Amino acid sequence: MTAFQTLLYYCYTPIAEAEQFAADHLAFCKSLNLTGRIIVADEGLNGTVSGTREACAAYMAAIRADERFDRLEFKIDDVEEPSFIKMHCRYKAEIVHSGLRDPHIINPNQRTGKHLEPTEFRDMLDRDDVVVLDVRSNYEHNLGRFKNAVTLDIDNFRDFPEKINELAQYKDKKVLTYCTGGIKCEKASALLLHHGFSDVYQLHGGIIKYGKEAGGENFEGKCYVFDNRVAVDVNRVNPTVVSTCRNCGRTTPKMINCANPECNEHFTQCDQCGEELQGCCSVECTTHPRKRTYDGTGYYVKVPQPVNKA
């Protein structure tokens, strides 16, 4: 049994005085010596936190005791060490940046796609009347995705609304949306319904829950996660690697951030090219004066920049 756990969760629920809630919640997390990244908005809560098993248990108990979060589900991973270095809890306009802020059009508490449990999702994957839609960004689905999934050329989820017209050809299909933990699908499926897609579903709990409850069957590659693990295994049934090194084309499951901090691009790179390019995506990036030291992981802790108070 590992000494630490990482918790992934979200909940769309109205939070009054959310900015103050974020400040209080940060203090609470620090009191438990948790590390992680939490976003608080008027529309809800989205977070990944990591710490000792005892600290995680105390955190989950506190969240579950708050009736605003009675629908919240935790995806729990046992880890060898905390998945973050620091604890951040910030107030923002949305808990996942989409630009879809009009509650009269998109409100996950009122209308979303039908939630499918992992085994239900698995059983529908190969049906002729189904299309499986990945609503994540390029660097995520390039690392791993469901077999035969439709992927979109987007760098950020906020670009998703611009792709709706490209999906019109699937309006007569059952559209099964999925993402890492489910949070993006809440708004993506709602937007599809708003634009006239009549039969829309979403993978409840996302890829992470699918791996735990359905063995990850037919998920190809690894799943990108937003902590220092970078990527996690999902498929225990028929695993395969689908990602290739950006630089040489070899098959590789390894994803890193470019060592040039001004580039910081997420990309897949084999170990050989990583050593040759010092963890950079290109020769040009290797010459940057602030290039970070590549330690083989390709994960870098953000260093706070001085604030000019003048």
Determine what percent of the chain falls in helix, strand and coil, rounding each to the nearest 5.
30, 25, 50
Angle at 168 between CA 167 and CA 174, to 5 degrees: 80
10 contacts: CB under 8 Å, gap ≥ 6: 44, 45, 46, 47, 72, 95, 96, 181, 182, 183
- Across the beta sheet with 130-134, what order do the strands follow? 114-116, 200-203, 174-178, 130-134
CA atoms in the 13 A half-sphere facing the CB of 186:
24
The residue annotated as part of the active site, out of 179, 245, 280, 285, is 179
Rounded Cα distance between 256 and 139, Å, is: 10
Q: How far apart are alpha carbons 164 and 174 in whole angstroms?
A: 15
For residues 295 and 19, what is the distance between their CA atoms, to the nearest angstrom? 37
Q: How far is CA 82 from the centre of its chain?
A: 18
Is 179 known to be catalytic?
Answer: yes
Q: Which residue type occupies 271?
A: D
User: Rounded distance, CA 241 to CA 99, Å?
Assistant: 33
Q: Rounded to whole angstroms, how far apart are CA atoms 233 and 223?
A: 6
Catalytic residues: 179
